[in-house]
Structure 1
Amino acid sequence: MKVLIQRTSGFDTPGPSNHLLKALIEDMISAGFSVHLVQASIKKIGEEMNSDLKKLDGFTWDTLERKDIPKNRFVRRYLEEVQYTFRSVKYWKKVNDIDAVYIISCPTALYGIVLTKIILKKPLFYGIQDMFPGSAVNSGVMGNRFIAKIFYLLQKIAYRYSDIITVISEDMKNKVVEQGVPEKKIFMIVNWFDDRTVHEVLWEENRFVKKYNLSTKKFYVQYAGTMGYVFDYKMVLAVAELLKEYNDIEFHMIGQGSQKEVFIEEKSKQKLDNIYFFPLEPQNMVSDVYSACSICMIPLKKRIIGNSVPSKAGLLMMCNRVIVNSVDSDSEYFKMFSEYDMGISASNDDPKAVADAILELYRDEDERQRMAKNAHEFGEKYYSRTVNTKKFIDLFHLIVDKKNRTEG
C-alpha cells in the first residue's frame, strides 16, 4: 500500500507532531507500506528531513519552501498556506500508485482535502490534532463571530469529504459529533509516546539537570512545551503568586511560543522570583526534560480541551511524573485523572485549587509516587506507540479495502 501524507509544516520546524509523524512513518514502512510525504520548510531550525527517516526504503519526500509569517498576521498567513497547498498539487501528481491520502489538520486542511479528492480520487484519512476554528475562537485569537461561523461551515465541508476522521480525545470526538459528523466515521487515537525510547532518566544521569545544575533540594513544577494562545500563562502567574512563600518550590517554563514574551514581562512586573524560563530542548532530550521535574503542570484556557489536547501527557506518564491539570471541570480529560488516580485536575477558573493540588503532592511523596505508578501503567496501556500506530495502520487498510470492495 502506498500512502501520500500532506502537511503544512516540516521537520525543520520544532513541534509536538514531529515525533508522532516520525514514529507513524517508521511503523507504516515496517508494516509493508510505501510513504511519500509532502512537507513545508519554514523555520529552518532543524534538518529538512529526520535523519532516521532518510534511511528507510519505501519512504520518499518533497519539501516546499514557505514564508515564516507571524501567527498574529492571520489573513496573510492563511492565504500563504492556501497557496502552499495549491503548489503541492504538482508533487502529488508525480507520485505513482497512491492508494490513500493522509491529511494532517491545520487551518487550511479543507483545501488539501478537496483538492486531493478531486485530483487523486483516493480514500482520504483526515487526522485532527487541533480543531479549527474552535481552538482559535476559544483561545481568543479569532474574536469575530461572523468570520468564525464561515470557518465552521468550511470545516464541515472538510469533514464531509473525508472518508475517516481521527481525533485525539473523547472531548474532541464529542465536538466533531456536535458539528454533524456521523459517529461511525470518527475514530479516537491518542497522541502516543515512543515506548521504545521514552523512559525515566535518573537524576544523577539526567543531562538537563546537569546542564542547569539543578538542586535535589528543590520541588520543581514544570511546563515544557509551546507557550501559545491555548497556554494559560495567567494561571501560572496566579499559582506562583499563591506559592511564593515556599522557597523550595520553583516553576520551570521550558520552550518557546507566541505568549512567552508577554509571560516574561508579566512575571517581572509581579516580581515573581519563583518562575524560571528555559529554551526549547532538542527532541533527543525529551526523557531528560520530563524526568527533571517533581510534577508537571498543564494549564489550558477555558473551552480549549475539546479542541486541543496536551500531547505531553503520555510522555510524562512514561517518565513516572504526575500531572496537575488546569482545565475545564466538565471535560472527560479532567475526569480521567481522578478516575484512574494518576494525577490531579483542577478547574481552570480556580488558581487556589491548582495551588492546593501542587501542595498536596509537594507534602506527600508517597502519594506522588503512587499516582506516578498508576500513570505509568495507564500510559503503557493507552498511550504507547506500539498500541496506537497499529490503529492507524488498521484504518488505512480499512478505507482502502472498502474502496476496493466497492469498485469490485
Structure 2
Amino acid sequence: MKIVWLKTLKYTVAKSPRRILGWLHFEWNLLFLDKAKLPRPDVIVVSSLSLFTILNGLLLRRKYKCRLVFEVRDIWPLTIIEEGGFNKDNIFVRALSFLEKTAYKRADVIIGTMPNLAEHVKKETGLDRPVFCIPMGVSEDHLSETKPLADDYQSTFFSKPKFRIVHAGTIGITNALEPFFQAAEALKDHSDIEFLMVGDGALKPHFQKVYGHLPNLVFAPKVSRDRVQSVLVNADILYFSVYPSKVWDYGQSLNKVIDYMLAGKPIVASYSGYPSMINEADCGVYVPAGDVDSLVACILDMKSKSPGDRNDMGMRGRRWLLEERNYPKLAKGYMDAIFERRH
C-alpha cells in the first residue's frame, strides 16, 4: 500500500480556527497534488472529518470514473450543534450542513461507525441511501500487549476487598461524570462499595474539590494504554456515561465500550441513545442518562448478584466482542459494502 502524507497547518486546540484552516490547507494540497504517479483507484474513500474532502472526492471520482465511499466517524454538524453550542443558523454550520447533505446524496456508498446512521441520512436527505455500519473493532492481540500494573499502584488502589465501580478515562467536560459522583454520594454509607475514578482531565480538580471528602470515592492516576486492561479487570462494574444528545439517537461505537467489554466485566452505562453492543451481548445495563436514582438502583442490583452471575455477564460481552467485532469480519463487511457484494 502506497501512503502519501500531505503536510498541513498544525493545531493544538480542537476548538480553534487553526483546525478549520488545517482542513482547508489539506484540501488545497490534495487538489494540487501531482497524481500522475499514483495508481488508478477502484474506490475513493472520503473519511470525515473533514467534510470539505467530499468536494475533492467528487472531483476524483469524475477523474477516475470509480466508486466514491463517504465514511462517517462523527456526525457533523449535528455534533457541534448538540455538544459544541453552535447555532444551526451559524454560517459555518450551514456550510457544513450543505457539504454533509451533498456527501449523503452523491456518494455511491455511505459507511458509518454508528449502527443507526441510516435514519439520520434519511432525515437529512429524504432518501433511502445505501448505508452500512462498520463499527470500531478489536483484536486478541490487544490482550497480549497488556502489561501488569506496578506493585505500588495495585496495592494502593486494589488491595482492599471492596465492591468496585470503576470509570477509566478522561475526566472532562464532555464525559458526563456527574451521575458517577452523585451515586457515590448517595451510597456513601455503604462502606463495602467503592467508586474508583481512574484518569486525568480538566474537571478532575473540580470533582476532587466537590466530592473528595466522600469516604467511598477514590481518585487514581491515569495509566498507560497498555495497562488499561490491568486496571479494568480489578473492577466489579465498569461505568461510562454520556449527556443526553440527539447525536446518540444514531448509536455509538466507542473505544471505551470496547475496552470495557474486552475486560470481561459487567457494564453499567448512563446512556439514553440508540442501544447497541451492551444489549446485544447481554453484558450490562443501560440506565437513563443523568438519572442518578436509576444508577444507584442498578448498582445495588448488580451487587446483589452472585460473583458467578456477574462473571458470566461480563464474559458474554468479551466473547461477543471477539466474535462480532474482530478485524477480519469487519474487513470483509467493509469490502462487501464498498463493492456491493451480495450473499
- 1:238 Cα deviation (Å)? 1.9
Query: Is the Cα contact below 8 Å between 1:138 and 1:302 reproduced in 2?
Result: no
- TM-score, with length taken from structure 2: 0.82
For the 8 Å contact 1:135–1:230, the answer to whether it is kept is no
Q: Work out whether 1:318 is the aligned partner of 2:259.
A: no
Q: Which whole-Å deviations, capped at 9, do the CAs of 1:324-359 have from their partners, x for residues lacking one? A: 11111x6333xx645653201100131121122223
Secondary structure, in 3 states, of the residue corresponding to 1:97? coil
Partner of 1:105: 48
Offset of residue 302 of structure 1:
0.3
2:164 alignment partner, SS class: strand
Q: What CA deviation, in whole Å up to 9, does each residue of 1:244-295 have, x standing for no partner?
A: 3344544444455xxx21243133133355141433523x335334334322
In the aligned structure 1, how far is the partner of 2:186 from the partner of 2:241?
A: 15
Query: In the alignment, what sits opposite 1:10?
Result: none
TM-score, L = length of structure 1 = 0.70
1:245 and 2:189 aligned: yes
The 1-side partners of 2:269 and 2:211 are apart by 23
| Offset of residue 129 of structure 1 | 1.8
Q: 2:203 aligns with which of 262, 266, 269?
A: 262
How far apart, CA to CA, are the structure 2 residues paired with 1:386 and 1:241? 44
Answer yes or no: is the 8 Å Cα contact 1:171–1:332 preserved in 2.
no
Question: Aligned equivalents of 2:152 and 2:34: distance in 1?
Answer: 44
- Give CA-to-partner distance per residue, 1:103-158, whole Å, 9 cap, x none: 2222x22x21211321453422222122112222222x133231245533331112
2:149 to 203, 208, 211: 208
Task: Measure how far apart 1:392 and its partner are.
Answer: 1.3
- Do the aligned residues in 1 keep the contact of 2:138 with 2:326 (CA within 8 Å)? yes
Note the C-alpha offset of 1:65: 4.7
Unpaired runs of at least 5, structure 1: 1-33, 37-59, 402-408
User: Would the alpha carbon gap of residues 134 and 251 (structure 1) be closer, same or farther in structure 2, given more than 3 Å must change?
Assistant: farther
Q: Which amino acid in structure 1 is aligned with residue 243 of structure 2?
A: K
SS of the residue aligned with 2:140? coil
Q: Which of structures 1 and 2 has the bigger CA Rg?
A: 2
Distance 1:316 1:83, change over 3 A: same
- SS of 2:102 mapped into structure 1: helix
Contact 2:46 2:57 in 1 (8 A): no
Read off the aligned partner of 1:380 and give its amino acid letter.
L
Conserved 8 A contact 1:222-1:254: yes
RMSD over aligned CA atoms reads 3.1
Say if 1:314 and 1:383, in contact at 8 Å, map to a contact too: no
- Figure out how many residues of one structure are paired with residues of the other and give that number: 328
Paired residues of 1:318 and 1:379 also in contact (CA < 8 A)? yes
Matches within 5 A, 1:40-59: none
Is 2:297 aligned against 1:297? no
Aligned to 2:177: 233
Is 1:87 the counterpart of 2:29? The answer is yes
Aligned partner of 1:276 in structure 2 is 219
> Which of residues 351, 364, 372 is equivalent to 2:292?
351
